[in-house]
Amino acid sequence: MKIFLFDVDGTLTPARKSMESSHAWDFLDWISGVEEKRVYIVSGSDRRKILEQLPSSILSRCSGAFCCMANQFWDNEKGLVYSNEWNPPKSLISQLNDYVLNSEYEKVGSGNIESRPGMINFSTVGRAATAEERLEYNLWDRQSLERESICVELKTRYPDLDISIGGQISIDINPKGNNKSQCTKWIRQNAKDPDSEFVFFGDKCHKGGNDYDIVEDINKNRDGVFFSVDGPEETLSILTSEY
Ligand code: M1P
């Protein structure tokens, strides 16, 4: 049997937006198909955002959702299975506030540090940014490499933390090991036959991206494959042609 795992932003939906209806119909068609499979969602976002972005017709056909970098797992039948807590060091919070104050980005906004179960999400442009402001920041960040240099500095100062590029605008921070690989590890221990295979889809599978650890875990255990995609179009096209 195959166990399909999907990241959300940039993989099933555009960043922080709902799934487009044509994609939702195609995905529903695929998920209701005859092949025996299990499907999980694995996102950096919290559950509220996943419920906003994916239609309930799709979520109800999944086995569960790993939220907040798999620091929380919601099983579709049992409800909340686990939720990790973490108190980030005060020095980290003050360093993040300094990044906001000293950012060279012109339109620094609000909601810069979001506390989620087991992790924090940080962005200089802020979570209140509109879709347009997100795009603008993302273009600027590709030139200035602000997020990349913040990650490098933080990794040096906090070797016991995982610090990775989130989606369009942000950085995900969690204690080392408490990353998306918690998803594959949990399934392996609790809900996987030895001969079943993971199939993971993510848009941040490169080193430094927040899908990298799950890819590395699958590769290390040689129990699946992954697809590094450029957006929902590519995800749906692979699903319909290959599976
Ligand atoms: O799911 C990917 C990421 O989506 C959002 O990223 P951004 O706001 O940068 O587009 C965040 O929820 C992030 O935590 C998450 O990893």
Which residue has its alpha carbon closest to ligand 1 atom 5? 167
122, 96 Cβ separation under 8 angstroms = yes
Q: Which residues line ligand 1 (CB under 6 A)?
A: 7-9, 15-16, 43-45, 121, 166-170, 172, 210
82, 75 Cβ separation under 8 angstroms = no
- Residue 195 CA to ligand 1 center (angstroms) comes to 32
From first to last of the 243 residues of the chain, give the pLDDT tens digit: 999 999 999 999 998 899 999 999 999 999 988 678 999 999 999 999 999 999 999 999 999 999 999 999 999 999 999 999 999 999 999 999 999 999 999 999 999 999 999 999 999 999 999 999 999 999 999 999 999 999 999 999 999 999 999 889 999 999 999 999 999 999 999 988 888 999 999 999 999 899 999 999 999 999 999 999 999 999 999 999 998
- Residue 32 CA to ligand 1 center (angstroms) comes to 28
7 in catalytic set: yes
29 in catalytic set: no
